[in-house]
Structure 1
């Protein structure tokens, strides 16, 4: 064992530290490290968890990537998806694709004696991914679509249900209008109520059978207005979007869920800035406290430094001793900081203690993303940066004269 590391351990585990100034200094250093770890863990885990949760909610509702006809012109009323060059089988065969579902959407109004609401009727077919949609259901069930005849069951958002005083099994009239035609009336039964917490979705969309939407849009029974493509992992979205676009046909276009709601993505981008800012602040606080600990320990042990120099230890060896000693002080702080931080995050992950206003945050509960890479990176990063920051102040040791230090009391 090298001399600096051996001597550092002797000082760190010495019983002499229990009755002098070192005890207070060590406690302050460990406390600052623990707080830095706790705040950093909570910031990173909740920040990344919020970004991931919002993106996944958007994607799980409307597909990670949607294929639409260029004739739709970004309208909520679907135009017939062109089949020229459209290779759905090859899209499904892509390794990152989990499933696809066809749809036809049309705008309209829900009306009853209580109120009315502008809506987007999204008609889904027999390939509807009801298992993925089920996570949003808070009452009733998702509509079952067979594409045989007309399915009158619809699933509406909690926001629309509250505005129109509707509950499961209630009936509601929808009004659809087309240019140069009289309004079309359809009577539906509410079979389910969903909630995504994303205002742009909950304010507008209802889910029903595709044949109703086809009839309103004047489409044939085999025609569709678009295809939602669901990926196995949202992290693949930027990589897979160009591949799917090449298979969509030149008369169709693709749009990523992350591009469909730019205002939400602008909101998500703020998380990166906040995470970086908070981690920098906590890192500065930890460094200041650790440097203070090192300087006070050097001053307190001036006699020991003088004795070591007299016995032939070099300035570099003595600096290494005190840097190692200070880093050893930090380790219990890192351990307790991780235990407390992870304990709090696990409580939040499984109990959802802290709530949010979905009107402002697009989420009703603070989500947590526990990534072992980030957990280890925070602890190792604090330890590494602190070790580097201790090098410069440790040069104070070279200014200490052995003769004066031995006389120092």
Structure 2
């Protein structure tokens, strides 16, 4: 058995350590470790949760990757594109792509007796992933889209519905401007109201039948505006987009959701910076606290150090005893810090106690992402880094000679 490990365990958990100065020192150290790991855990879980949540919303509404004509304009109106592509309806060449759907966009103006609002009709077909969209429905249902029959049903964002005083089962007229300058109107019926908390979507987009856009643009049924692709990993959509660009025709190009919305993507990257800064500060606090605890314990047990050296222990063996001792002190702090931190995160995840202003954070509820691997890595990193850093202050033990230690005890 490792003597340093055994001896450190004895003094850490033995009865002799319960009724002296080290008891207070140990409790302070454990409290600091518990608070540090709890704050780090909450920061990591909510930061990653926010990043994933915003990316997922962008992807759910706009697709993880969008394929457009290479010379596509930057307006809200789609350019024409043939639906007859090798990758549609199933992108067999790239296994990361799990679903492909065709859409088309057409800008217009909703007019009501009281108000008006500029909108973009996002036309979708029977291949649209309705299940992915259902989580954003506030009320009502998604329109029934059929292959042969054109549907006048649409879903509206809650913001537009409130501004125009529209609700489920309401109807309204939308004007679309043609290339000739002559407006064409269409009457739609509201079947559902949605909210994504992302201003870029909730301010202008309504969803309906793609056949309306095809008729307005005088396209046939094989002409669409673009393709939306979904992948099996939202964190790797940029890499998958590069693969897609290598496969598709040179007249087309693929763009990831994160690159399409650079401003939102920049906001997402702020979370990564915040996570790093908070984790660094918390780790620094824990390390400084453990160094102070170690130094005080060394000074308190000067006689024990002298006795061990007299009995033949080397400086390194004695140093290892105190390093192990400090790690044993950390373990209860880590346990309770994790227990409290994970409990608070689970409460937030299932009861959604903390709300956020959606106009600032693109999320209405503080998100939580719990990953067992990340939790274990966070705890192991705290232990390993502390153990390595504690090697340096433990060098003080080498300065203590047996004779000096015994004299101090006699005094």
User: TM-score under structure 2 normalisation?
Assistant: 0.96
Question: Shift in Å at residue 2 of structure 1?
Answer: 1.8
1:63-100 deviations in Å (ceiling 9; x for gaps): 11111123431221112114686542562553222211
- CA, structure 1 residues 131+93, in 2 after alignment: closer, same or farther (shift >3 Å)? farther
Residue 301 of structure 1 and its aligned partner are, at CA, apart by: 0.8
Q: Provide the rounded CA distance (Å) in 2 between the counterparts of 1:84 and 1:227.
A: 11
Deviation at 1:166, TM superposition (A): 1.1
What residue in structure 2 maps to residue 351 of structure 1?
A: 351
Partner-residue secondary structure (3-state), 2:367: coil
Q: Say which is worse superposed, 10-19 or 198-207, in terms of deviation.
A: 10-19
Shift of 1:232: 2.1
Task: Check the 8 A contact 1:101/1:128 in 2, yes or no.
Answer: yes
Q: After alignment, is 246-255 or 316-325 more displaced?
A: 246-255
CA distance in 2, matches of 1:401, 1:72: 79
Q: 2:268 maps to which residue?
A: 268
2:202 corresponds to: 202
Q: Report what 1:312 is aligned to.
A: 312
Contact 2:84 2:222 survives alignment (8 Å)? no
With 265-274 and 249-258 compared, the bigger mean Cα shift is at: 249-258
Using the TM superposition, give the Cα deviation of residue 246 of structure 1 relative to its aligned residue in structure 2, in angstroms.
3.7
1:58 is paired with a residue of what secondary structure?
A: helix
Q: Separation in 1 of the partners of 2:182 and 2:143?
A: 28
Show structure 2 runs of 5+ residues with no match: none
- Cross-structure match for 2:330: 330
1:200-225 per-residue CA deviation (whole Å, 9 max, x = no partner) reads 01111100011111111121122111
Counterpart-to-counterpart distance in 2, 1:11 and 1:247: 65
- Asked if residue 124 in structure 1 is aligned to residue 124 in structure 2, the reply is yes
Q: What CA distance in whole angstroms lies between the structure 2 residues aligned with 1:242 and 1:304?
A: 64
1:279 corresponds to: 279
C-alpha displacement of 1:408: 1.6
Match of 2:13 in 1: 13
Matches of 2:66 and 2:29 in 1, distance apart?
53
SS of corresponding position for 1:296: helix
Matches within 5 A, 1:218-229: 218-229=218-229
Partners of 1:272 and 1:189 in 2: CA distance: 43
Matching residue of 1:30: 30
Contact 1:92 1:100 in 2 (8 A): no
What is the root-mean-square deviation in Å for CA atoms of aligned residues? 1.5
**What's the counterpart of residue 239 of structure 2?**
239
> 2:368 — aligned with what?
368
Trace 1:1-400 onto structure 2 (pairs within 5 A).
1-82=1-82, 87-89=87-89, 91-92=91-92, 94-400=94-400
**Structure 2 Cα separation of the partners of residues 84 and 14 of structure 1:** 76
Please give the per-residue CA displacement for 1:336-385, whole angstroms capped at 9, x wherever unaligned: 11111111111111111111111000001111111122101111111111
Unaligned runs of 5+ in 1: none
Q: Is the 8 Å Cα contact of residues 81 and 225 (structure 2) preserved in structure 1?
A: yes
**Is the Cα–Cα contact under 8 Å of residues 87 and 247 in structure 1 kept in the other structure?**
no
Partner SS for 2:18: helix
Q: 1:15 offset after TM fit, Å?
A: 1.3
Distance in 2 (CA, whole Å) between partners of 1:6 and 1:242 is: 55
TM norm structure 1: 0.96
Residues 294-314 of structure 1: CA deviation (Å, up to 9, x unaligned): 011111111111111111111
Taking the aligned partners of 1:81 and 1:255, their CA distance within structure 2 comes to: 16
> How many positions carry a matched residue from both structures?
409
Query: Conserved in 2, the CA contact under 8 Å of 1:88 and 1:248?
Result: no
